[in-house]
Chains A and B, each alone.
Chain A
Amino acid sequence: MAAQTRTKPVLGQTLIAGLWKENPVFRLLLGMCPTLAVTAAVKPALTMGLSVIFVLICSNIVVSLMRNLLKPHLRILMFTLTIATFVTIADLFLKAFVPRMSETLGPYVPLIIVNCIIICRAEACASKNSLVVSIIDALGMGVGFTLTLCVLAGVRELLSTGAIWEIRILPAGFVPWAAMSMPVGAFITLGLLLGLVNKMQNDK
């Protein structure tokens, strides 16, 4: 593999790729379930993003370390088991330290197990590359995912309550759009944001 010939600038590119060029949500359309489900407000979205970063980095480390031991037909199962272990850790951590947030997120924390981003990175990057590249890749992808969640959540929270991070921004006369905090708002906001990203990409 080309892992040995990779130098610093390439690592930087790997990090940046996850933020925009290969942004998991906008460009690869991965991990849609949590994207839609937890973005009614910024706080749960950020918690979700941080949990995903944690699981992504840990699972990429483990998968990268055991990449030479993997049997092809069993690898997906091994990935899932690794991920499930780290998700359990993250879930217990959230339950212990931020119980109210854990309640808000509900089953969407354990659902990180089947988040396509993590399996996709394990398969496409960690199982082929060295430890450092895998960690950098996980970091880039995770941060890209978190930022996307926060942007989406910001738009939705602003329009549904007139506040971001529970700090009032719009004037008191603003009539909240109740629909934005409901599933309808999630689907339509994400659809329009995707359209916007496509447009920016085409104009370049």
Chain B
Amino acid sequence: MDTLTILLMGFISIVLINNLVLTKFLGICPYLGVSGRIDMAFGMGLAVTFVVTLSGTLTWLIDHLILMGTALEVTRYVCFIMVIAGAVQLVEMYLRKFFPSLYESFGIFLPLITTNCAILGLCLFINLWEIDNLLEAVVLSFGAGIGFTMAICIMAGIRENLNLADVPDCLKGAPITLITAGILTLAFMGFAGMIR
């Protein structure tokens, strides 16, 4: 296979088949917390996509160029979380300066991206899957962000309609959201086996 096919396969697989939210349970907190309104969900998805692409690339570079060269793999987690916190800070500063209205609407969620498991999770998965090609790491990180955006937007769309549904009292709120997420996961299982 040539490089382009591998990259395309990787992208499709991380968006649909190995979707971080629906099959790896990463980023569930914002998935449950922010998915009330579709415009918020989309904004959150974009912010996460940006941060995850940036930090996925940076952590790959740091891991391969610095840590593996100097046998400092033990400090991997500390380095990764520092990079992510730094990337989030960067996005925050940039948004506050150039898009103040968007910054206002994100509010508390922006700093919370630091503790979004999807981002650290992806950095760890890239490490686990032994991706040894920078381009592939970039495409996977970007795909993960797109996958997250897609999942959270679908969920927000469903939840906007769920408000009108007659849900039993004890299942209102988080429980019904989780059950919906379960059914959504079932639907996404249909994509398994699409590649090989």
With contacts A186-B25, A191-B175 taken as known, whether A84 is within 8 angstroms of B185 at the C-beta atoms is no
B81 in complex: contacting residue of A84, A115, A182, A202, CB < 8 Å: A84
Min CB–CB distance B89 → chain A (angstroms): 9
One of A30-38, A62-70, A143-151, A159-167 contacting the partner: A30-38
Quick one: closest B residue to A31, CB to CB? B29
User: Does A107 have its Cβ within 8 Å of any Cβ on chain B?
Assistant: yes
B152 proximal to A (CB < 8 A): no
Q: Which residues of chain A from 148 to 177 have a CB within 8 Å of any chain B CB?
A: none
**Is B124 part of the contact surface with A, judged by Cβ < 8 Å?**
yes
Interface presence of A87 (CB below 8 A): yes
Q: What is the interface residue range for chain A against chain B? A: 35 or more
Q: Which B residue sits closest to A77, measured CB to CB?
A: B85
Q: Which residues of A contact B75 (CB under 8 A)?
A: 88
Instruction: Say yes or no for B141: interface residue by CB 8 A criterion.
Output: no
**Interface 1/0s, chain A 59-87, versus B by CB < 8 A?**
00000000000000000110011001101
B96 sits at the interface (CB 8 A)? no
With A and B bound together, what is the CA distance between A184 and B179 in angstroms?
Answer: 9
Flag the segment in A15-23, A42-50, A130-138, A192-200 that touches B. Answer: A192-200
With beta carbons under 8 angstroms apart, the residue of A36, A80, A116, A198 that contacts B171 is A198
B191 → chain A closest CB, angstroms: 13
Q: At the interface, yes or no: B166 with Cβ under 8 Å from chain A?
A: no
Cα A84 to Cα B117 in complex, Å, equals 13
Set of chain A residues within 8 Å of B121, measured between Cβ atoms = 33, 107, 111
Of the candidates B29, B128, B178, the one whose C-beta lies within 8 Å of that of A107 is B128
Q: Chain A residues near B117: list those with CB within 8 A.
A: 33, 111, 114-115
**Interface flag for B165 (CB, 8 Å):** no
A77 to B115, CA, bound (A): 11
CB of B195 closer than 8 Å to a CB of A: no
A111 to B123, CA, bound (A): 10
Asked if B26 lies at the interface with its beta carbon under 8 angstroms from chain A, I say: yes
A68 and B27 CA atoms in complex are apart in Å by: 32
Partner of B185, one of A76, A107, A187, A195: A187
Asked if B77 contacts A84 (CB within 8 A), the reply is yes
The answer, yes or no, to whether B174 is at the interface (CB within 8 Å) is: yes
Task: Determine if B78 and A106 form an interchain contact, defined as CB atoms under 8 angstroms apart.
Answer: no
**Bound Cα distance A192, B29 (Å):** 18
CB atoms of B179 and A192 under 8 A apart: yes
Within the complex, the shortest CB–CB distance from B124 to chain A, in Å, comes to 4
CA distance A196 to B111 in the complex (A): 33
A36 surroundings in chain B (CB, below 8 A): 25, 28
Say yes or no: B22 contacts A33, CB within 8 Å: no
